[in-house]
Amino acid sequence: MKKVVNLTYMLTILIFLDLVLTLCWINTGLATEANPIMNFFFKQSSIIFTCVKLGLSFGGILVLYFARTKFRKAVLNILLGLNFIYIVICGWHLWGMLFLVSQTN
> What residue spans define the domains of the chain?
2-104
Burial-class residue 17 by CB neighbours within 10 Å (0-12, 13-18, 19+).
Answer: middle
Does residue 105 have a pLDDT over 70? no
Helices 2-27/72-104 angle, 10° precision = 30
Read off the pLDDT of residues 75-97 as tens digits, 9 standing for 90 and up: 999 999 999 999 999 999 999 99
How many Å apart are CA 70 and CA 51, to the nearest integer? Answer: 29
Does residue 43 have a pLDDT over 70? yes
Contacts of residue 72, Cβ cutoff 8 Å, sequence gap at least 6: 1, 4
